[in-house]
Amino acid sequence: MVDYDAVIVGAGPAGLTLASELGRKHRVLVIEEHQKIGRPMQCAGLVSPRVMEITKLTDCVCAKFNGAVLLSPSFKPFHFFSTVIKAYAIDREKFDEKLGYKCIKRADVFLNTKFIDAKRKGNEVVVRLQEGKAEKELTTRVLVGADGVVSKVRKIFGFQEPEEYISTYGAEVKNLALDTIEIYTGQRFAPGFFGWAIPCGDVVRLGVGSASGHAKMHFEELVSAIERRKGVKLTRTKTITGAIPLGLLSKYARDNVVLVGDAGCQVKPVSGGGIYLGISGAIICADVLNKALESNNLSEKVLNEYSVRFLKLFKKEIKFGMHARMLLRHISDGTIEQGIEELNACASAREIIGKYGDIDYPSLLLKPLLKKCPKLVKLAFPSIGDML
């Protein structure tokens, strides 16, 4: 008899959500290499209202936003807002801990435990773990890779690798008075991506993403520029580092093995956020695995239903995002400056962004915005054609 019906490597939002769902009917183990769930924090913690609707963890919210300020490389602003809440800043450590409490009621959780290796043996998977200095093996009917950006499960079982990685670096800072989100652009601060400042309680989460690496260097440039611009000295209270895997995987399942969350590149390429896609993928995966475990058929053919259903919902949006990445990788600071000027000059831009802007589905904004602000097409050509 196998030790578990499912072993999940990684206790992030996707892995914990999947464990909670599967644990209703099956024997589930979650393996987490860190001593505490939710730490270290590697995320800016900005989520859409959909995440709150799914998780019901509204007590983790530290700020609500219905708009933001987009800043050009020279700090020229474009303010936009909506009549409804578009995003929440959450206490990410508390958020993960709450998901963990729910999970512990339905599954075993091994903290401070490293996943070493795994191999298929017949219709099960033999998993090798390390607790302290001791190694041990256990068996499972299905292995779930929820082990993040550099997923060992993904590598061991030959899944497709991400197309691109974005390196990130940031910190929680004090002495920065903001009442809305600021988005920073340009080669100096965030080449191929963007920077952010997100107010959350008595701190601001300040960070950058970089497609060319050296995120810490770009972060220091941003800090210096903000200090000069605001006339303040920022005090850092916590460092937030990480990486974002981007791309579209063709499949998320093989015989007895599946991927969820960052391990499966279930990340929005435009914003780099992975909580909504990761949790959504975990819910779909749980439904498919429940049926597969009950029928005792964990073949790739059966588990492929998970891939099909996830891609049906999100393939179009991820492909759109990867085309948008092409634009961001090559756009010049001068073109960004022109784009900000055009947005400010376009009378309908704020109304359109307020109505159609959606951090989970940014493609919804493109056609209405270009229709009302056609000069933006020339600035973004030829990449725009691939995105329409």
In angstroms, what CA-CA distances link 205 with 46, 215, 220, 309, 376?
Answer: 10, 15, 14, 34, 30
From the CB of residue 300, how many other CB atoms can be counted at a distance below 10 Å?
14
117 and 18 in a common domain? yes
Q: Give the model confidence (pLDDT) of 306-323 as tens digits.
A: 999 999 999 999 999 999
182 within some domain: yes
Quote the pLDDT of residue 41: 72
Confidence of residue 128 (pLDDT cuts 50, 70, 90): very high
Q: Is 130's pLDDT higher than 70?
A: yes
Query: Do the Cβ atoms of 181 and 196 come closer than 8 Å?
Result: yes
CB-based burial label for 56 (10 Å; 0-12, 13-18, 19+): exposed
66 within some domain: no
Quote the pLDDT of residue 380: 66
339 and 273 in a common domain? no
CB-based burial label for 343 (10 Å; 0-12, 13-18, 19+): buried
Question: By residue range, what is the domain housing residue 282?
Answer: 4-42+93-162+250-315
What phi, psi does 325 have (nearest 5°)? Answer: -60, -40
**Range with the poorest average pLDDT among 100-104, 119-123, 186-190, 205-209:** 100-104
For residues 211-220, average pLDDT: 94
Q: Is 349's pLDDT higher than 80?
A: yes
Quote the pLDDT of residue 385: 47
Phi/psi region, residue 233 (left: phi>0; alpha: psi -120 to 50; beta: rest), is: beta
Q: Is 27's pLDDT higher than 70?
A: yes
Q: Give the model confidence (pLDDT) of 216-252 as tens digits.
A: 999 999 999 999 999 999 999 889 899 999 999 999 9
112 within some domain: yes
110 and 129 in a common domain? yes
Quote the pLDDT of residue 381: 53
The pLDDT > 90 percentage for the chain reads 85
Query: Do the Cβ atoms of 356 and 364 come closer than 8 Å?
Result: yes
**How far apart are the C-alpha atoms of 189 and 185, rounded to whole Å?**
7
Q: Give the model confidence (pLDDT) of 261-287 as tens digits.
A: 999 999 999 999 999 999 999 999 999
73 within some domain: no
> What total number of domains does the chain contain?
3
69 within some domain: no
Q: What is the pTM of this model?
A: 0.94
CB-based burial label for 286 (10 Å; 0-12, 13-18, 19+): buried
Q: Is 50's pLDDT higher than 70?
A: yes
Confidence of residue 145 (pLDDT cuts 50, 70, 90): very high
For residues 37-64, average pLDDT: 90
Alpha helices in the chain (DSSP H): 13-22, 49-55, 92-104, 152-156, 215-230, 275-295, 300-330, 333-345, 349-356, 363-372, 375-380, 383-387
305 within some domain: yes
Amino acid at 20: S
Q: Is 326's pLDDT higher than 60?
A: yes
117 and 266 in a common domain? yes
374 and 266 in a common domain? no
Q: Is 387's pLDDT higher than 90?
A: no
